[in-house]
Amino acid sequence: MKPRWKPQRVKKSAGMLLIIALFSYTHAHAQEKIIDQVAAVVGQNIILESDIENQYYQYRMEGDISGGEGTVKCQILESMLFQNLLLNQAELDSVEITESQIEQTMDQRLRYFIAQIGSKEAFEEYYGKSIPEFKEEFRDEIKNQLMIESVQQGINQDVTISPSEVNKFFKSIPTDSLPLINSEVIIGQIVKKPPISIQQKLAVKEKLRSLRDRVVKGEKFSTLAVLYSEDPGSAKKGGELGLYGRGELYPEFEAVAFKLNKGEVSEIVETEAGFHILQLIERKGEYVNVRHILIRPKVSPEDLDKARITLDSVATLIRNDVLDFEEAVTKFSDDPGKNSGGLLINPMTGTTRFEVTELDPSVSFVIDKLKPGMISDPVPMETETGQEAYRLLYLKKRTLPHRANLTEDYNRIREWALQEKQSKAYNEWISKKATNTYIKIVDKYKDCAFENDWNQ
């Protein structure tokens, strides 16, 4: 008997679909394999065979395919029918998208592309067009996607799930269809960051003043950034960061960047990451592109050892039940995340649960030796800003591989139940809107086993 339910993968957002579409589009143009035939029409919007072929190609490149080619292409077409039905509704509702929204979204996604390729120059060379040309070509596409997102958010804005609905949803799943959950851990940490000495800060400032003087006397900022900057992401690109808008950089860094003239080199700027000098490459409205050289003051070996000794004493207090872990976090941790009780947050899921394969190897190595409720000895670490520090790792919980159940996996099951309820809301909306919208699908796709009835 086929299971009547299985956990669904989270659907790609409109923004992610656009990223896929843009990559597919540009790659397909490079390969010159575009098929310009109409596959479907929704209202006044058309879906081309090339749209389906390009997205199918992208899925193949990602290894993101389950099922035969025909089945996958039918699924892609249905997703596109839904997107275009949303767009048609946005046009009927006169959804307004501002130029500022378009520009901000465009810049965010361009930064994603450029980060994947390595630099703005490499991006322009690969796609055979400048950044302004690229933005102009996809401006309408960005606007359409933002309109789609607006309507999509409206459909599910009032969809909520109650505990009784979660329980009912779970009971509706056949026992042999309950998914297997891998072993997971919940981990806490207490971080001790040694202070940076005045002498170290002065030494860094002196080095940056020397580098600034060399630029002012004619040396290339980009060359010095490659040689001396301690920001690994930008150093290899001559210190260039790419376009950033207000609110996306350190406040102190941003305040200086927006005041510079083209080619001008700043005085020394201190941020959470360290000390910088900046050079403005260009400014476009509320966005700037700068080069920078970052140098971080180093922690002295003596201060680093003091941090280790402090944490060793804290671990002893916890093991002797003088303090519990949460109290120790509040009293001793220098980690900004201590407001969550010191628990690490999984960036992939937004929860405190990690599969072991999702952990940094240096963490999994320590945790593997602990039993639930145990705390490690002090172990060295680097903070997000690259500063040397020590931390204690605490294993709060370790689950064994098991079939999903409400006791251990309530939040996960709640998310599945909510997704199913949202899916029903989408299907009801599609059924209602498709009835009153002109939809034409070419014969090639007439036999697709669509989830919804698009040929009403």
pLDDT tens-place string over residues 257-276:
999 999 999 999 999 889 99
Residue for token pair 């591989």: 401
Which of 406, 401, 356, 362 is CA-nearest to residue 381?
A: 362
pLDDT tens-place string over residues 245-260:
778 889 999 999 999 9
Query: To 5 degrees, how large is the angle CA 145–CA 148–CA 150?
Result: 115
**Is the pLDDT confidence value at 16 over 50?**
no
| 3-class state of residue 182 by DSSP | coil
Distance of CA 196 to the CA centre of its chain: 31
- Among 14-23, 199-208, 304-313, which is the least confidently predicted range? 14-23
pLDDT tens-place string over residues 310-331:
999 999 999 999 999 999 999 9
pLDDT of res. 65: 64
Which DSSP helix (H) or strand (E) runs through 394?
Answer: strand 388-398
Q: How far apart are the two ends of the chain, measured CA to CA in Å?
A: 31
pLDDT tens-place string over residues 81-98:
999 999 999 999 999 999
Give 405's DSSP letter. -
Rounded to 5 degrees, φ, ψ at 252 are: -65, -40
Q: Which domains does the chain have, with CATH numbers?
A: 14-162+413-445 (1.10.4030.10), 181-195+301-403 (3.10.50.40), 198-295 (3.10.50.40)
Instruction: At 259, list the tokens.
Output: 């005041």
Cα–Cα distance measured from residue 448 to residue 69, given in angstroms and rounded to the nearest whole number: 12
pLDDT of res. 386: 81
pLDDT of res. 312: 97
**Is the pLDDT confidence value at 26 over 50?**
no
pLDDT tens-place string over residues 354-388:
999 999 999 999 999 999 999 999 999 988 878 89
pLDDT tens-place string over residues 107-146:
888 877 777 776 777 788 888 888 788 888 888 989 999 9
Across the range 418-427, mean pLDDT stands at 92
- Amino acid at the residue 419: Q
pLDDT of res. 201: 94
Cα–Cα distance measured from residue 353 to residue 367, given in angstroms and rounded to the nearest whole number: 13
Query: To 5 degrees, how large is the angle CA 195–CA 197–CA 203?
Result: 135
pLDDT tens-place string over residues 170-207:
999 999 999 999 999 999 999 999 998 899 999 999 99
Residue 397 vs residues 301, 311, 368, 403: alpha-carbon distances, Å: 34, 21, 12, 17
- Give the pLDDT band of residue 456 (cuts 50, 70, 90): low
pLDDT of res. 7: 37
Rounded to 5 degrees, φ, ψ at 281 are: -90, -50
pLDDT tens-place string over residues 389-409:
999 999 999 999 999 999 989
Average pLDDT, the chain: 87
pLDDT of res. 64: 61
Which of 249, 16, 27 is CA-nearest to residue 152?
A: 16
pLDDT of res. 66: 67
Cα–Cα distance measured from residue 342 to residue 361, given in angstroms and rounded to the nearest whole number: 19
- CB distance 402 to 183 below 8 Å: no
State whether the Cα torsion 95-99-100-106 is positive or negative.
positive
Cα–Cα distance measured from residue 281 to residue 290, given in angstroms and rounded to the nearest whole number: 5
pLDDT of res. 32: 42
Cα–Cα distance measured from residue 424 to residue 176, given in angstroms and rounded to the nearest whole number: 24
**Is the pLDDT confidence value at 151 over 80?**
yes
pLDDT of res. 400: 92
- Among 215-224, 233-242, 309-318, which is the least confidently predicted range? 233-242
**Burial of 280 (C-beta count, 10 Å sphere; 0-12/13-18/19+):** buried
Q: Rounded to the nearest 10 degrees, how much is the dihedral formed by the CA atoms of 291, 292, 293, 295?
A: -160
pLDDT of res. 99: 87
Cα–Cα distance measured from residue 203 to residue 451, given in angstroms and rounded to the nearest whole number: 65
Q: For residue 80, what are the contacts with CB-CB under 8 A and spacing of at least 6?
A: 40, 47, 51, 52, 55
- Among 132-136, 293-297, 419-423, 436-440, which is the least confidently predicted range? 132-136
Which DSSP helix (H) or strand (E) runs through 292?
Answer: strand 287-295
**Is the pLDDT confidence value at 25 over 70?**
no
